[in-house]
Amino acid sequence: MRHRILEAAATLIAREGIGGLRYDQVAELAEVNKTSVYRNWPDRTTLIADALTAFAADAAPLHDSGDIDADLVDFLETLAAAMASPQGRSLQSVVAAARENPELRAVVDEVSGRRQATLHDRLRTAVERGELPAIDPRFLGELLTGPVQLFVTRGARAFTRADAHQVCAIVLAGVRATAAHGGESSLPGTQ
């Protein structure tokens, strides 16, 4: 029941925005009694936070197959699909609204932090194994995910697996070439 409610809330946020989120609509979409929604989430901000946190936890997992290039291609493709989904769009609407609401800002920061931590941990492991030269995982994470965010938010066309391959190939080739030609000290975060 909780999963259905959280999924319904994320879908409605994507469709109606935060201001349009109503408990009766959440209950109807989740096929539960309205009192179930109120009992579990008496505070509307908590309902929004939990819906988006649950979505972020399931969206764009990053696996460790031992091949960082393949893992990152999979991750970027999944991230793009997650961001383009109704729940992903709801997260983007919350990000916009969070600029004026400190409670929502904390939710956005938590959701974003969890996603980034997973990516940063995998990149650190790749550096430790020698799959990548020493580099600040936060910096490399931004280089990799930035194009996905741009594609999805612009909405001109879908971000494809071929796009994921190209982004990874270009970014990782640049990181490896910079380390090979200038030494590790020339990469951000390695000094």
pLDDT tens for 93-132 read: 777 777 787 777 877 787 777 778 889 999 999 999 999 9
Helices vs. strands in the chain: H and E counts, helices first:
9, 0
Q: What is the pLDDT of residue 141?
A: 94
Domain ranges, residue 82? 61-186
The crossing angle, in degrees rounded to 10, of helices 102-129 and 44-58 is 20
Backbone phi, then psi, for 60, in 5-degree steps?
Answer: 50, 60
* d(C-alpha 123, C-alpha 137), whole Å: 6
Inside any domain, residue 6: yes
Q: Tell me, what's the pLDDT at 155?
A: 80
* Contact between residue 118 and residue 101 where contact means Cβ atoms under 8 Å apart: no
What per-residue confidence (pLDDT) applies to 147? 94
The model's confidence at residue 185, banded by pLDDT at 50, 70 and 90, is: very low
Q: Is residue 191 part of a domain?
A: no
Query: Which H or E run contains 162?
Result: helix 161-182
Residue whose C-alpha is closest to residue 51's, from 8, 19, 15: 8
79/131 same-domain check: yes
Q: Is the pTM of the predicted complex or chain greater than 0.95?
A: no
Asked if 93 and 136 touch (Cβ cutoff 8 Å), the reply is: no
Q: What residue has token string 């990469």?
A: 187
- Region of poorest pLDDT, from 49-63, 70-84, 121-135, 146-160: 49-63
How many of the other CB atoms lie within 10 Å of CB of 10? 28
Percent of the chain residues topping a pLDDT of 70:
92
Number of domains in the chain: 2
Contact 125, 140 (CB under 8 A): no
Residue range 70-88, pLDDT digits in tens: 999 999 999 899 888 877 7
CATH number at residue 36: 1.10.10.60
Position with higher pLDDT, 56 vs 1: 1
| Range 97-136 burial, b when 16+ CB lie within 10 A, else e | bbeeeeebeebbeebeeebeebbbebbebbbeeebbbbbb
If asked whether residues 13 and 37 sit together in one domain, one would say yes
Quote the mean pLDDT of the chain.
Answer: 85
Does residue 42 sit in the same domain as residue 129? no
Q: pLDDT band for 189, please (50, 70, 90 cuts).
A: low
